[in-house]
Structure 1
Amino acid sequence: MFADPTLTLKSGSRLAWYLGTPSVDPDDWMEAVIRKVMAASGAGYVLTEGSGAGGFAALRLATRFAHAVAIPRTPQTDVFRHASPDPLRETLEAAWPGYGYDELMHGYAHRFRIMDLYTDPKWNRGNLVHCVHNAGDTEHTENHLAPMLDEFGVSQHAVKALDGRVVISRPYAGDGQIGIPAHHWAGDADLALRRLKSERPLQGAAVVEGMFTKPSRAPQPRASLAAARRRTLSWHVPAYF
């Protein structure tokens, strides 16, 4: 329902990651609009959905709302692991000129990768993930699903992580980057909502929660598997950074 304003900065920009700029975080705008809709509709919880780059944005945006559930479909989890460096170069040249990888990870890691958001309690406040991954998509398996599960401390074949907060479904939709067929979406959402209701049932009234106050600092390096694993992934950073 939202357009990525970063795409308007340069005609060659092709992927909507909703990374924003150093001074503008699109998640702020999306959160503000969603909270107005929640207030008007009486909705108590938020469910975010998306595929690929949209799944990455859905994972990130969900952490703005306590006990929200994200349903990413074959999502990206770290934009620096994108198979083609060209879209990333175009985005960074347009919106983040002069910023290198180290600077981005120091001040804006939460926008470029989602693992820290879900392992750091400052960001994850009971959020759930129902990840639907095309088992035939080798690229996203190797570059996004497997590293995410590795950082969560489980094997790449696991069906649950983070004490069951993350659930992974692996239907086979076809070889390569083939999206999950739309006729499966309603069932995915139903399963995710059932989990949400079973873990935190609605009490007949909307949860009262103001705009999310982001942590004063970006998620810091932790003495954890996630932090240690991230330090071993430097070879995935494109050479021009």
Structure 2
Amino acid sequence: MNHKLAISWFLGGPEWDALDPIELVIKEAMTVSGANRVIFVGGSGGGFAALRASIRFPGSLAYVQSPQTVVTRYLPAAVEAYFGSVWGQNKTDVAMSSPQRFDLASLYRVNAGLNVVYYLQNLNDPTHIRDHYKPFKRIHGVTEAEGESVDGTKYFYLSDSELLRHGPPTAAEFELNFDRAIRFYESVLLKRPTKMKNFI
């Protein structure tokens, strides 16, 4: 539809939500492997997809690195290309008609406590801190620069990364925070065994 599209793989279009087949594939993989929990990992646009997919799997963990949380606040050229090519409509009109598909704050408000999130944000990425990190942590009751959500299922961490712009953490930063995310996840499961029960 448009070779400049950069965010469509996890969004789909008017008649098709890309997350629907993704969900089916994950469920089949869990059945085949015998897994009863799943961890979603992603950064930037992949972080948006991980956060959105995790809601469909109660008790799952989303470990995300500097994700987008509001599609319309992503790179303007990419956003315009997506909404213009795929929807043929103004981004504001489409986003307002399906808020939970394009704004994760809206999605998480109505699905509080379903999953666990470890949100790693690069301190050297001011645009994402302003447009994505701060709005998302606020809906979880986090008023400090970083910390744990009111319900104890989300953790927000600012990292003074070696990367001086938006992008993935270094391998060492990724591994360090992945270990922290797993420990946080395990602690939540221990504290909330009935609400974070196995879902398959």
The normalised TM-score by structure 2 is 0.86
Alignment partner, residue 169 of structure 2: 180
Alignment partner, residue 146 of structure 2: 158
Alignment partner, residue 128 of structure 1: 116
Alignment partner, residue 115 of structure 1: 105
Letter in 2 for 1:81: R
Residue 92 of structure 1 and its aligned partner are, at CA, apart by: 0.7
Task: For residues 111-169 of structure 1, give each alpha carbon's deviation from its aligned partner in whole angstroms, at most 9, with x where no partner exists.
Answer: 21111222213xx4520110111111111111111122233333251312242211012
Q: How many residue pairs align between the two structures?
A: 195
Query: Matched residue of 1:167: which SS?
Result: strand
Change (3 A) 1:93 1:75: same
Query: Matched residue of 1:193: which SS?
Result: helix
Change (3 A) 1:156 1:95: farther
Decide whether the 8 Å contact of 1:55 with 1:76 is kept in 2.
Answer: yes
Q: In structure 2, which of residues 50, 55, 63 is the aligned counterpart of residue 71 of structure 1?
A: 63
Alignment partner, residue 192 of structure 1: 181
Which is helix-richer, 1 or 2? 2
Instruction: Give me the CA root mean square deviation.
Output: 2.3
In the alignment, is residue 40 of structure 1 matched against residue 32 of structure 2? yes
Decide whether the 8 Å contact of 1:45 with 1:67 is kept in 2.
Answer: yes
Query: Matched residue of 1:155: which SS?
Result: coil
Query: Matched residue of 2:108: which SS?
Result: helix
The normalised TM-score by structure 1 is 0.73
Residue 13 of structure 1 and its aligned partner are, at CA, apart by: 1.3
Q: Distance in 1 between matches of 2:168 and 2:91?
A: 32
Task: Please give the residue correspondences for 1:1-241 in structure 2 after superposition, counting only pairs within 5 Å.
Answer: 9-16=1-8, 18-82=10-74, 84-106=75-97, 108-121=98-111, 124=112, 126-155=114-143, 157-173=145-161, 174-200=163-189, 207-209=198-200
Q: Distance in 2 between matches of 1:52 and 1:27?
A: 17
Change (3 A) 1:17 1:154: farther
Change (3 A) 1:148 1:163: same
Structure 1: where are the runs of 5+ without partners?
1-8, 210-241
Query: Matched residue of 2:136: which SS?
Result: helix
Q: Distance in 2 between matches of 1:191 and 1:159?
A: 13
Decide whether the 8 Å contact of 1:150 with 1:156 is kept in 2.
Answer: no
Structure 2: where are the runs of 5+ without partners?
none
Q: Distance in 2 between matches of 1:59 and 1:17?
A: 15
Q: Distance in 2 between matches of 1:98 and 1:126?
A: 32
